[in-house]
Structure 1
Amino acid sequence: MFVEFTLLPETARLWVYPSSRKFYADETPEIEEKIKKFLGTWKEESPSFKASYQIQYNRFIILAADDMEAKMTTQDIDTSVQFILQLQEEHNVILLDKMNVCFKQGEYVQYKELKDFKKLLKNKALTGKSIVFDNLVQTKEEYEHYWEAPIEESWYNRFL
């Protein structure tokens, strides 16, 4: 069942899908409608299952699910990945490439291959204070506290 994001507990499971480009203003409402429809039918056989989403910076799709009472199975997660793959194809973006790094450069969110990110650090175009997105966060609580962090406070600090 789809619920507002704020209604999910801190323990809700979470998946971050960074887009290879910003979503266009005219496609965002369509993407949101597709996500709401998917979440409304995801595990619909379990009335206690609650799920929500956020789109951040016109660049990230965040899916979250409270599965405390209705445990998620591998098949349920596969269903969500299939949905993301469908969005990828329909909107000509990459959403499942975890080998890229997203970070802020000024007010803009950049999406770079890891090797290019390392070059930016080496050339001092980014510093330990630069904000990076940890798209590997796994719960709503981690997302709210650690998703956006200075490089020096994230797992990316190994590249400094």
Structure 2
Amino acid sequence: MTLFTELPDEARLWIFAADRPLSDAESQTLLETLAPFLNEWTAHGLPVRGQAAVLHHRFLLLAGYVPGGEISGCSIDAATRAVNAAARKLGISWVSPLVIFYRDAEGTVQHATRGQFRRLIAEGKVTAETPVFDLSLTTVGALRSGAFEKPAGRSWHARVFALAPQT
């Protein structure tokens, strides 16, 4: 993955999932709206090297790194407020990270509650080969390693939903 090339693997990562696909124009406007915040973002008085990207027209990824410091508390709250304000401006709602995001048979990103996801598995519409997204990643390094999107059978989804792992 070539995102956030100017940030180290230990840079913090937050993933926000939109309730609907975003157009190219909405994605661009979202990033432009966040740019002033990213340019002024600080943590404990230190500048945060922040970047944002939109993936698959559904996911806003926000990354930040403070050389010699850490991002916590008020600086995370400020980032969340900026992301939520940008979303409100565009009429975007963020989905709970407890919702499961996956690709359907046509490759389109979909989302389902955990109950709905279990039904999709029972119906054979979701299998161990179905690509799923892990919104719980917390570092840019995990994103770079390919942990964001992978077959359900090789993710935490296999354990939680009793999917037979891929061989």
| TM-score, normalization by structure 1 | 0.89
Q: How far is 1:50 from its partner?
A: 0.9
1:98 and 2:97 matched: yes
- Kindly state the Cα deviation for residue 72 of structure 1 after the two structures are TM-superposed: 1.6
Q: What amino acid is aligned across from residue 144 of structure 2 in structure 1?
A: E
Instruction: State the distance in 1 between where 2:75 and 2:52 align.
Output: 16
Verify the 8 A CA contact 2:34 2:83 in the aligned structure 1.
no
Structure 1: segments with no counterpart, 5+ residues: none
Contact in 2 for aligned 1:21/1:111 (Cα 8 Å): no
In structure 2, distance between residues paired with 1:148 and 1:27:
23
DSSP-derived class of the 1:27 partner = helix
2:126 match: secondary structure: coil
> TM-score, normalising length from structure 2?
0.86
- In the alignment, what sits opposite 2:111? 111
The residue identity in structure 2 corresponding to 1:121 is I
Sequence identity percentage: 23
Moved >4 Å (runs of 4+): none
- Counting matched residue pairs gives 156
Question: Aligned equivalents of 1:119 and 1:112: distance in 2?
Answer: 10
Q: Quote the Cα distance in structure 2 between the aligned partners of 1:147 and 1:116.
A: 21
Provide the C-alpha distance between the structure 2 equivalents of 1:92 and 1:114, rounded to a whole number of angstroms: 25
Specify the alignment match of 1:149 in structure 2.
150
1:23-63 CA deviation, whole Å, 9 max, x = no partner?
1233222111012222111118424x311111101110000
Query: Unpaired segments of 5 or more residues in structure 2?
Result: none
* Cα deviation digits, residues 109-131 of structure 1 (max 9, x gap): 11222211111111110100111
**Equivalence for 2:80:** 81
Is the Cα–Cα contact under 8 Å of residues 57 and 109 in structure 1 kept in the other structure? yes
